Structure 1
Amino acid sequence: MSTTKSAELVKRAELERPTRLTKSLESFAALREGHITNARDRLIEYGHWAKAINEANSHIAVGEKEIAAAADAYKEVAEHLAANLSWPPESISIMTQGSVSTKTLIRSPNGGEKFDIDAVCKVDISLIEADDPMSFFESIGQALEELEAQAKRRCWYIPFNRQPFYLEFTPSVPLNTITAQTLQSMALRYHASRYGETALAVVDTPTQGWKTSNSAGMSQWVNDTAERRLIQSIVMEAYANDRAEASVAPVPDQTVDITDTLRVAIRLFKRHRDMCARRGVIDAATKPISVIIVTLLTSCYEGLADLGRSFEHPIELLDELAALMPHLVLKLDGKYRVDNPTVEGENFAEKWNDDDGERYRSFMTWSKTLSADLKTILALTDPQTISKRVREVFGIPAPTGGGNGLPTIQPPAPRATPASRGLA
Structure 2
Amino acid sequence: MKNTKYSNLVISAIEKRDAQVQKTLRKSLSLESFQDSGYILEGLAEDIQMVNDHIKVDEEVFDEASSDYEKIANKLVEKLNWPNDSIRIIPQGSVSTKTLIRSPDNSKFDIDAVCSVDLSMIEVNEPMDFYEKIGSALATWNAEPKKRCWKVDFQGRRYYIEFTPSTPLDKVPQSNSGQISFTPTNRYRDKALAVVDTPTKQWKTSNPEGFSNWVSDQSARPLLQWLIQKSIRDSYSAESVTPVPEQEVKISDTLRVAIRLLKRHRDMAVRRNFVEPELKPISIIIVTLLTQCYEGLADKGAVYTHPIELLIDLVELMPHMVEFIGDKYWIANPTVEGENFAEKWNENHKLKQTFDIWTGLLLEDLNSIMSANDHVSRRKIIKEVFGCISAQSPTTPTEGGGLAPKQPTKPHVAPPSRGLA
Distance 1:128 1:254 in 2: 35
Distance 2:13 2:407 in 1: 28
Q: Counterpart of 2:380?
A: 388
8 A contact 1:277–1:284 mirrored in 2 = yes
Alignment deviations for residues 267-287 of structure 1 (CA, whole Å, 9 cap, x no partner): 000000011111111111111
Matched, 1:418 2:420: yes
| Residue from 294, 303, 307 that aligns with 1:301 | 294
Superposition deviation, residue 345 in structure 1: 0.2
Which amino acid in structure 2 is aligned with residue 84 of structure 1? Answer: K
8 A contact 1:335–1:353 mirrored in 2 = yes
RMSD over aligned Cα, in angstroms? 2.3
Which amino acid in structure 2 is aligned with residue 23 of structure 1? Answer: R
Q: Counterpart of 2:37?
A: 42
Distance 2:144 2:401 in 1: 34
Matched, 1:192 2:194: no
8 A contact 2:104–2:401 mirrored in 1 = no
Structure 1 range deviating more: 331-340 or 40-49: 40-49
Superposition deviation, residue 236 in structure 1: 8.7
| Closer, same or farther: CA 277–234 of 1 in aligned 2, 3 Å | closer
Q: Counterpart of 1:256?
A: 249
SS in 2 for 1:126: helix
Q: Counterpart of 2:155?
A: 161
Alignment deviations for residues 71-126 of structure 1 (CA, whole Å, 9 cap, x no partner): 21111111111111021111111121111111100000123x11111000000011
Q: Counterpart of 1:105?
A: 100
8 A contact 1:190–1:212 mirrored in 2 = yes
Matched, 1:210 2:189: no
Q: Counterpart of 2:216?
A: 223
Matched, 1:5 2:5: yes
Which amino acid in structure 2 is aligned with residue 170 of structure 1? Answer: T
Distance 1:98 1:184 in 2: 28
Distance 1:364 1:71 in 2: 37
SS in 2 for 1:210: strand
Superposition deviation, residue 210 in structure 1: 0.2
| Closer, same or farther: CA 195–315 of 1 in aligned 2, 3 Å | same
Matched, 1:23 2:30: no
Q: Counterpart of 1:375?
A: 367
Q: Counterpart of 1:268?
A: 261
SS in 2 for 1:327: helix
Superposition deviation, residue 258 in structure 1: 0.9
Alignment deviations for residues 387-419 of structure 1 (CA, whole Å, 9 cap, x no partner): 111010011124599973443465533554423
SS in 1 for 2:94: helix
In the alignment of these two chains, the number of paired residues is: 393
Identity of aligned residues (%): 46
Distance 2:401 2:266 in 1: 17
Matched, 1:353 2:356: no
Alignment deviations for residues 38-77 of structure 1 (CA, whole Å, 9 cap, x no partner): 6554322211111111111100000101111112111111
| Closer, same or farther: CA 169–234 of 1 in aligned 2, 3 Å | closer
Superposition deviation, residue 358 in structure 1: 0.4
Matched, 1:144 2:146: no
Q: Counterpart of 2:233?
A: none
Alignment deviations for residues 165-224 of structure 1 (CA, whole Å, 9 cap, x no partner): 00000000001222333221212x433331000000000000000000000000000000
8 A contact 2:105–2:401 mirrored in 1 = no
Q: Counterpart of 1:79?
A: 74
TM-score, normalised to structure 2, is 0.88
Structure 1 range deviating more: 90-99 or 297-306: 90-99
Q: Counterpart of 2:85?
A: 90
Superposition deviation, residue 16 in structure 1: 0.7
Matched, 1:290 2:283: yes
Structure 1 range deviating more: 400-409 or 277-286: 400-409
Distance 2:258 2:154 in 1: 30
Q: Counterpart of 1:243?
A: none
Structure 1 range deviating more: 267-276 or 63-72: 63-72
SS in 1 for 2:116: strand
| Residue from 386, 399, 403 that aligns with 1:404 | 399
Which amino acid in structure 2 is aligned with residue 418 of structure 1? Answer: L
Unaligned runs of 5+ in 1: 31-37, 238-252, 420-424
